[in-house]
Amino acid sequence: MNRYRRTERGGGLFSAIEHEQAVAARSVGILKLRDIIPWESFRPLLEELTGYATRDWKKGGKPPFDPVLMFKVLVLQRFHGLGDDATEEQIFDRTSFKAFLGLRIGDDIPDAKTIWDFKQRIKQDGREGGRKLFKPSA
């Protein structure tokens, strides 16, 4: 007879789904921001700043991650004071980060280079995207 509580739940797909739902239901910290900020309202500015609004999508190449998702990645970075490598690792590792970003276990996640590239794209050509995105509205 074991005197201690077992920590294993048997694993499997349903355990992972239940865990994701439990994390999402807590809505604390960054997850509250997920629910109260109208993220899609940033899309036009993000598409302008990244050049996606005028990009020729027929040229091919690997499509970029959605700019709203990438903006949320930058919010995670600022909220938690993370660098690009640490942000990639936390998105990969933390269910709450995935829930905030609308990702599930097994989804593609942006790597550190992609995060860096996105930040550079916003800043390029003197667009001062970071300032425009993060400044408080008057």
Average pLDDT over residues 95-118: 93
How far is 122 from 71, CA to CA, in rounded Å?
10
Q: Is residue 104 scored above 50 in pLDDT?
A: yes
| Cβ burial 17-48 (10 Å sphere, 16+ → b, else e) | eeebeebbeeeeebbeebeeeeeeebeebbeb
Distance CA 129, CA 120 (A): 9
Average pLDDT estimate for 88-96: 93
Residue pLDDT, tens place only, 9-52: 666 656 666 766 666 665 567 777 888 889 999 999 999 888 88
pLDDT of residue 10: 61
> Which residue ranges make up each domain of the chain?
28-134
Give the distance, in angstroms, between the CA of residue 107 and the centroid of all CA atoms in the same chain: 12
- Res 27: pLDDT: 54
Q: Report whether pLDDT(86) > 80.
A: yes
What average pLDDT does the segment 119-129 reach? 75
What is the average pLDDT across 96-104?
91
pLDDT above 90 covers a percentage of the chain that reads 40
Q: In angstroms, rounded to a whole number, what is the distance separating the alpha carbons of residues 73 and 105?
A: 16
This prediction has a pTM of 0.75
| pLDDT at res. 15 | 67
